[in-house]
């Protein structure tokens, strides 16, 4: 039997579906493995027995990778397990960035005491005109499972899609996607896209990836979606570019004090993977990886 510690709720099913003998105990300090969703392990005091950590998600920036390497602790993630959930929320954000849905809902809410609300609402609708996405160009930065899923869905919605990956070049899934173009450079994405969505990992090299240099090259009124990590965007530069209209809308899944309550900025509370299906997929994959490693020494998705 192994001691496996579960940090955060990563799924309703927890560990039970795999083997009722695998134990979970909040107080445990000498675990063989840790399963974690978004909690940070950077300050966590690893026990002597710890052999593996599995992140129920794609990003591993909440795990101290260097410390794990030094101690021989294997770190797993669950690539692709939440890609559909994140894709669906990115598509939702794509529509929110175009049609003035949030703004109009907020305005209609202010009409609560208006006895002629239907008439007032009709009159006010001309303030909430927003463009269709069909025929517009979406730039996808980062061609992992989520980026490729978003690209393929956007193509089905009639968008032109250009993709670029600063690390892996064109991956196999992208190459198979018949209607997406691979951009020669990031400049091409910045200069030609009406919407840009970013799907790269957060690390010391990618901090502030979208900064003044990038914004300066973009089309006026570009809509930017960030469902990868908050620190990929330089918020100081972003605020300047939202204020001067260069960035028409910024929708992000990551809160920061300076972004709250700003016009043309919509912030969600890291909801990308928050579907029961995705939580179950990630939990199952994470547990499988850890058990496979503890029992057979096999390393999948490390």
Please report, as ranges, the residues that interact with ligand MLT according to CB under 6 A: 37-38, 57-59, 82, 270, 272-273
In sequence order, the 6+-apart residues with CB closer than 8 A to the CB of 188 are 162, 164
Q: Which is nearer to ligand MLT, 57 or 163 (CB)?
A: 57
270 carries an active-site annotation: yes
Smallest distance, Å, CB 167 to ligand MLT?
16
The rounded distance, in Å, linking the Cα atoms of 66 and 47 is 16
Pick the closer one to ligand MLT by CB: 44 or 254.
254
Nearer CB in complex with ligand MLT: 137/202: 202
Q: How far apart are CA 214 and CA 193, in angstroms?
A: 12
Residue 38: exposed, middle, or buried by beta-carbon count in 10 A (0-12, 13-18, 19+)?
A: middle
Strand 52-55 versus strand 33-36 pairing type: parallel
Q: Which is nearer to ligand MLT, 76 or 215 (CB)?
A: 76
Residue 76 forms beta bridges with which residues?
Answer: 54
Provide the CA 216 distance to its chain's centre, in angstroms. 24
Selected catalytic residue, list 37, 229, 279, 289: 229
Closer CB to ligand MLT, residue 50 or residue 273? 273
Find the shortest distance in angstroms from Cβ 279 to ligand MLT: 8
Residue nearest to ligand MLT (CB): 57
Cβ 106 to ligand MLT shortest distance, Å? 26
To the nearest whole angstrom, how small is the minimum distance from the Cβ of residue 286 to ligand MLT?
A: 11
CA distances from 59 to 48, 150, 262 (A): 25, 17, 27
In terms of CB distance, is 98 or 206 closer to ligand MLT? 206
Does residue 42 have an active-site annotation?
A: no
**Least distance (Å) from ligand MLT to the CB of residue 271?**
8
Q: Given 99, 188, 192, 270, which residue is catalytic? A: 270
Could you please report the per-residue DSSP string of 211-243? -HHHHHHSPTTEEEEE-S-GGGB-HHHHHHHHH
Of the residues 122, 132, 236, 258, only one is catalytic, namely 258
The string of DSSP codes covering 32-53 is: SEEEESSS--TT----TT--EE
Least gap, CB of 41 to ligand MLT (angstroms): 14
Active site residue 88: no
Catalytic annotation, residues: 229, 258, 270
């Amino acid at each position: 039997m192994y001691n496996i510690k579960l940090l955060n709720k990563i799924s309703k099913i927890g560990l039970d579906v795999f083997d009722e003998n695998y134990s979970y105990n909040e107080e445990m300090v000498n675990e063989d493995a840790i399963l974690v969703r978004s909690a940070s392990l950077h300050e966590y005091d690893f026990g002597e027995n710890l052999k593996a950590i599995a992140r129920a998600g794609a990003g591993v920036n909440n795990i101290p990778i260097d410390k794990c390497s030094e101690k021989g602790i294997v770190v797993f993630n669950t690539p692709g397990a939440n890609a559909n959930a994140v894709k669906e929320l990115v598509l939702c954000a794509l529509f929110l960035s175009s049609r003035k849905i949030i703004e109009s809902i907020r305005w209609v809410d202010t009409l609560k005491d208006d006895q002629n609300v239907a008439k007032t609402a009709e009159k006010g609708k001309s303030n909430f005109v927003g463009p269709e996405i069909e025929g517009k160009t979406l730039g996808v930065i980062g061609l992992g499972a989520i980026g490729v899923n978003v690209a393929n869905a956007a193509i089905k919605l009639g968008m032109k899609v250009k993709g670029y990956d600063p690390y892996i070049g064109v991956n196999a899934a992208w190459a198979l996607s018949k209607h997406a173009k691979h951009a020669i450079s990031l400049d091409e994405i910045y200069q030609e896209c009406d919407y840009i969505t970013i799907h790269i990992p957060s690390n010391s090299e990618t901090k502030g990836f979208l900064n003044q240099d990038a914004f300066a090259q973009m089309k006026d009124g570009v809509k930017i979606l960030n469902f990868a990590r908050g620190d990929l965007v330089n918020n100081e530069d972003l605020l300047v570019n939202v204020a001067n209209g260069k960035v028409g809308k910024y929708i992000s899944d990551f809160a920061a004090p300076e972004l709250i309550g700003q016009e043309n900025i919509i912030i969600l509370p890291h909801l990308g993977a928050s579907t029961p299906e995705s939580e179950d997929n990630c939990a199952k994959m994470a547990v499988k990886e850890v058990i496979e490693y503890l029992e057979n020494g096999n390393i999948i998705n490390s």
